[in-house]
Amino acid sequence: MQIRDTAAIVTGAASGLGAATAAALAAEGARVFGFDLPAAIEGAPDVEGVTYVAVDVTDAEQVQAAVETAASAGLPLRTVVNCAGIGPSMRILGKKGVHDLAFYAKVVQVNLIGSFNVMALAAEKIAATEPLEHGQRGVVINTASVAAYEGQVGQAAYASSKGGIVGLNLPAARDLAQYGIRVNTIAPGIVETPMLATVSEEFRAGLAAGIPFPQRLGRAAEYADLALFLVHHDYLNGEVFRMDGALRMAPR
């Protein structure tokens, strides 16, 4: 599918995976609407072709308004990449007691429900565009994690939310097929992000040592490359793609 002269939505676009993907789409000629929280946008990179929109993906009204903005830009909305997410940890039963229910709900609300809502509302706009060859209109890429398959100690909430993204993938692809919208998911392993930049080099080296090959952390640009490949490849649909160097996470 052609990216140039189309509109795209990227959530979590102010940093990490989202920032790399927004920049990559803009470099290929898309007008990108980067959704993120106001505080995150203040420190976001200034990238030609990327317009930041202050959005909390857990707020249905904000998402609706932001999607309307992207869809009314004068270019057909074709691409959505959901990168917004949080990854705090807490054990189901720990030294401080039972897992906080509000904490669990918040992680699911951001990672799973937020992604679902952006996908659903954007799909409505994509479905209204003129069809391309073979009736295709657009593509949605969601972000899961290897934790969806091998969640570690303390990742009950995070793994639940990312497992939900994996479970959502195929039915979403089937639901949206009649409108010419493909749905795929990327499940990254350990990727260098701003969060990892705060830990010691020794700790980062220890993480990298557990990856079979290449024995290093993943890069946000590699996620962006895969996302663009999935946009371009019109026959890839309903699939989850692990990007992890053959990593299989240990219990802790």
Q: Which residues are catalytic?
A: 158
Residue 104 vs residues 40, 87, 171: alpha-carbon distances, Å? 23, 11, 24
CA gap 64, 204 in Å, rounded: 39
Burial 124-134 (b: 16+ CB within 10 A, else e): ebbbebeeeee
Residue 181 vs residues 114, 139, 177, 235: alpha-carbon distances, Å? 19, 5, 6, 11
155 residue type, one letter: Q
Beta-bridge mates of residue 243: 188
Q: Are 120 and 57 in contact (CB under 8 A)?
A: no
